[in-house]
Structure 1
Amino acid sequence: MARSFDRDPKNTIVMPSGQRAHRDTVRQSEVIRRQFESPCDGVWSLVGNGLSNQTFIKARDGVIA
């Protein structure tokens, strides 16, 4: 099976779902796993949804995104 950019098989792991990935990619994916947070009333943050996080703030005239 071909590997992407890394020829050392020690760096390729098999996840519980059967997917194969570089160990550093799996580690980073845990850091940015998808989650929805509300640090205080009227403020929400969606983390791990693509390349950037989205933050929403409840304002007098609506929601600022």
Structure 2
Amino acid sequence: MRKRYNPYTYPRWLKNLRAACAQFMIPICVFQSIRTLIFPTGFDILLLMIIIFLAVAIHMQII
């Protein structure tokens, strides 16, 4: 059986870590998008997609 996902049962330190990551994700996305526009390499594009995915997942509380 699959365990149910309940973010309210997480320890306090993990909730604080998620909140800190959520605050820093948007500035990191902006910085990486500017970097991708200036130096468009495959690694930069892949990194930008991963960062955007993580930012959306944290914002929507999927992760």
| Shorter-chain TM-score tier | 0.3 to 0.5
Larger radius of gyration: 1
Question: When you count helix as a share of all residues, which structure comes out higher?
Answer: 2
Question: When you count strand as a share of all residues, which structure comes out higher?
Answer: 1
* Larger relative contact order (Cα-Cα within 8 Å, sequence gap ≥ 6): 2
Instruction: Give the TM-score normalised by structure 2.
Output: 0.34
